[in-house]
Chains A and B, each alone.
Chain A
């Protein structure tokens, strides 16, 4: 069994990994709360945005700033386009069908990325990754700090936005009942479009950070969303705060298992094991509460 000194550095890497999961998880919950769509293309959109930024910097001579902006804008544009075209026809369908439909976008984007960039080694180092500070002999770079701060910021801003703004209130109403909200005169399509755009911009920003924290690789970034999904499920697709905390816990547990060699190679199961345990516990509690109320 490793010593506490051995574990210490993994707390830092775990927090960074948790921040990575939180970024995607929070972005998905925001959209789900507004539109009822669990966007499984979140990772693919971010991955393609990051690859476009890489292309613009390395092959088109763009400066980093505009290329990074293009990545974020690409995320917003593609997600908005999908939402505007496919959102309304799928609005009344089961959440599982809506989620599965976004897999279509995922596969299209994966195919395009494979065609254009193939599965080759490339990297995009953000300027913030070259600087940092030490905590307990562990170097923490500023991109890792930005990832966690960004996830926290998104969580806070979204919570305030949904609670205190007119559009946020409309989004919450939409999530509860689309038909009734429409009859109350809320411009449903415009509000939904705002949610798709916001989530898309977030996916672009997340893709940019994740390409640096995880690696500029289409498949990895695309399917990172699966691990983040575990956090959103623990948050029952509603609570941004719980999703954030769950993501951090998943990242921490995943990293802290690494030096325990007997179970290290099974650590990729961490998100699903934790999600399953959390859902079973939550279902049990809800069941007890309901039966207690009925009795």
Chain B
């Protein structure tokens, strides 16, 4: 009898262990609900919590201020990553906000933009399914404003086969290394290159580089390695699983690896980077190295505010886009659109939503260049491909698409640092080191056709 009870208890406990292991696999494999959001022309939501210093006129979004677009919708779509530890939805929600603004002010020659995006959890089959759904079911004519970890890798051949020129931000190398994708950001690899340059400028003699353990880390790691080598600084690379549960040990590990005259460079999403930085702070480690740096995701006031003043001037963030409170016309419009239409932009003002805004503006600029009023896959994507000289105060130099085997149009960027709960510019536009082979290749393309990065037609709202 006792034996029976004992084995039953053991079975129960073992069952619960299996349940726990299963749960942990589910946690790492899948995220929150797989939902999609659809928006069509019409009013946007309420206000966010903008810190705009000078209000801009949102009627500048379109060509007919105050006139709602009522024509046949132009359908656009995107695929974005949303899973525990990685939420890239701010790009799409901000693009959506801008499209709402455009629709409220005349649309594209009277046509409203109808925008739909799907949220994926780094599952290739799911992502491929969404791509087919966008084209076959939703009948989109352009794929713009997406921001995903692996979407470029999964779908680029499909887009190429359809003649779609994707306007996307991302992580996978294919976002920058293929003919049919051109992002407004430079991605984790080149942004990490910039962060490495930042800590070396701050005097670091050795670098500890850490990033989240997600697909594509080898590709990202190669960039900082080549730049560090060119700068004659040794680099030690790490990967850590996300969501991070033990940030204290990670912070300690990185500080030990960098040494007192070294620098720590992080390539994580804001919540994960914040955990490491706060752990460093709680262990008094922030002054134990020459400098701390982050790739672009940290360039958000959320991080600056959460870190507090102890990190003011101590954290260098490679910022692919300008700070959100600069007073250029595009940034003022971005803040105004966020205020009026950006209620779904949960991360607030920051790099991700800026990217969404830039991509939306690029899309509108391309759509407005189409003559004859026919908006199909062929005309829309030809117009997107023809974009060049796109000048905005959010980027260091004019952006372009063009016909090329790879696209890294954003290859010169800023360095920011926290100050009183906000990110401020520390260093102005500095080119990413061409020791990274991709950068060297794209500089050669720009040299061959200088018109690509020369300022062209003013963007909407300028």
- Point out residues on A near B: beta carbons under 8 Å: 6, 9-10, 13-14, 16-17, 38, 40, 94-96, 99-100, 103, 110-111, 114, 118-123, 125, 129, 138-139, 141, 143, 213-215, 217, 219-220, 223-224, 226-227, 229-230, 233, 236-237, 254-255, 258-259, 261, 264-265, 267-268, 272, 275-276, 279, 282-283, 286, 290, 294
Rounded to whole Å, the gap between the CB of A217 and the closest CB of chain B is 5
Closest 3 CB pairs of A and B: A219-B84, A118-B346, A121-B270
Query: B14-51: which residues lie under 8 A (CB-CB) from chain A?
Result: 14-17, 19-21, 23-24, 27, 32-33
Q: Which stretch from B180-188, B194-202, B271-279 is at the chain A interface? A: B271-279
Q: Which of A110, A215, A265 contacts B278 (CB 8 A)?
A: A215
Q: Which of A219, A230, A264, A294 contacts B85 (CB 8 A)?
A: A219
Q: Which of B14, B243, B247 contacts A279 (CB 8 A)?
A: B14
Q: Given A215-B274, A227-B245, A237-B13, 13 other A-B contacts at CB below 8 A?
A: A9-B256, A13-B246, A13-B252, A13-B283, A120-B87, A219-B27, A226-B23, A254-B246, A254-B249, A255-B248, A255-B249, A279-B17, A290-B3
Give the residue name and chain of the B residue nearest to A120 (CB). Answer: B347
B3, B243, B307 pick with most chain A CB within 10 angstroms: B243
Q: Which of A215, A258, A290 contacts B2 (CB 8 A)?
A: A290
> B241 within 8 Å of A by Cβ?
yes
> B71 within 8 Å of A by Cβ?
no
Q: Judging by beta carbons under 8 Å apart, are B243 and A219 in contact?
A: yes
Q: Judging by beta carbons under 8 Å apart, are B27 and A141 in contact?
A: no
Give the residue name and chain of the A residue nearest to B2 (CB). Answer: A290
Q: A119-B271, A121-B303, A215-B278 are in contact. Are A10 and B249 (CB under 8 A)?
A: yes
Q: A215-B278, A258-B252 are in contact. Are A121 and B302 (CB under 8 A)?
A: yes
Give the residue name and chain of the A residue nearest to B33 (CB). Answer: A111
Q: Judging by beta carbons under 8 Å apart, are B346 and A120 in contact?
A: yes
9 contacts between A and B (CB under 8 A): A10-B249, A120-B271, A122-B306, A217-B85, A226-B23, A227-B245, A233-B16, A237-B16, A267-B246
> B6 within 8 Å of A by Cβ?
yes
Q: Judging by beta carbons under 8 Å apart, are A119 and B85 in contact?
A: yes
Q: Judging by beta carbons under 8 Å apart, are B27 and A226 in contact?
A: yes
Q: Judging by beta carbons under 8 Å apart, are B13 and A217 in contact?
A: no
Residues of chain A within 8 A (CB-CB) of B87 are 118-120
In whole angstroms, how far apart are the Cα atoms of A100 and B19 in the complex? 9
> B300 within 8 Å of A by Cβ?
yes
Q: Which of A99, A139, A254, A267 contacts B284 (CB 8 A)?
A: A139
Residues of chain A within 8 A (CB-CB) of B274 are 121, 123, 215
How many of chain B's residues have a CB under 8 angstroms from any CB in A? 59
In whole angstroms, how far apart are the Cα atoms of A122 and B10 in the complex? 41
Residues of chain B within 8 A (CB-CB) of A286 are 6, 10
Rounded to whole Å, the gap between the CB of B324 and the closest CB of chain A is 15
Q: Judging by beta carbons under 8 Å apart, are B245 and A268 in contact?
A: yes
Rounded to whole Å, the gap between the CB of B81 and the closest CB of chain A is 11
B87, B244, B245 pick with most chain A CB within 10 angstroms: B245
B15, B274, B302 pick with most chain A CB within 10 angstroms: B274
- Point out residues on B near A: beta carbons under 8 Å: 2-3, 6, 9-10, 12-17, 19-21, 23-24, 27, 32-33, 82, 84-87, 213, 238-241, 243-250, 252-253, 256, 270-271, 273-275, 278, 282-285, 300, 302-303, 306-308, 346-348
Q: Judging by beta carbons under 8 Å apart, are B24 and A223 in contact?
A: yes
Q: A9-B252, A122-B302, A125-B308 are in contact. Are A236 and B9 (CB under 8 A)?
A: yes
In whole angstroms, how far apart are the Cα atoms of A145 and B252 in the complex? 18
Rounded to whole Å, the gap between the CB of B287 and the closest CB of chain A is 11
Q: Judging by beta carbons under 8 Å apart, are A265 and B240 in contact?
A: yes
Q: Judging by beta carbons under 8 Å apart, are A119 and B82 in contact?
A: yes
Rounded to whole Å, the gap between the CB of B33 and the closest CB of chain A is 7
Q: Judging by beta carbons under 8 Å apart, are B306 and A121 in contact?
A: yes
Q: A121-B270, A265-B213 are in contact. Are A272 and B20 (CB under 8 A)?
A: yes
Q: Judging by beta carbons under 8 Å apart, are B248 and A13 in contact?
A: yes
In whole angstroms, how far apart are the Cα atoms of A286 and B10 in the complex? 10
Rounded to whole Å, the gap between the CB of B246 and the closest CB of chain A is 5
Q: Judging by beta carbons under 8 Å apart, are A258 and B271 in contact?
A: no
A13, A282, A283 pick with most chain B CB within 10 angstroms: A13
Residues of chain A within 8 A (CB-CB) of B273 are 121
In whole angstroms, how far apart are the Cα atoms of A133 and B278 in the complex? 17
A95, A121, A138 pick with most chain B CB within 10 angstroms: A121
Residues of chain B within 8 A (CB-CB) of A94 are 12
Q: A120-B271, A223-B24 are in contact. Are A17 and B249 (CB under 8 A)?
A: yes
In whole angstroms, how far apart are the Cα atoms of A215 and B281 in the complex? 13
In whole angstroms, how far apart are the Cα atoms of A227 and B16 in the complex? 13
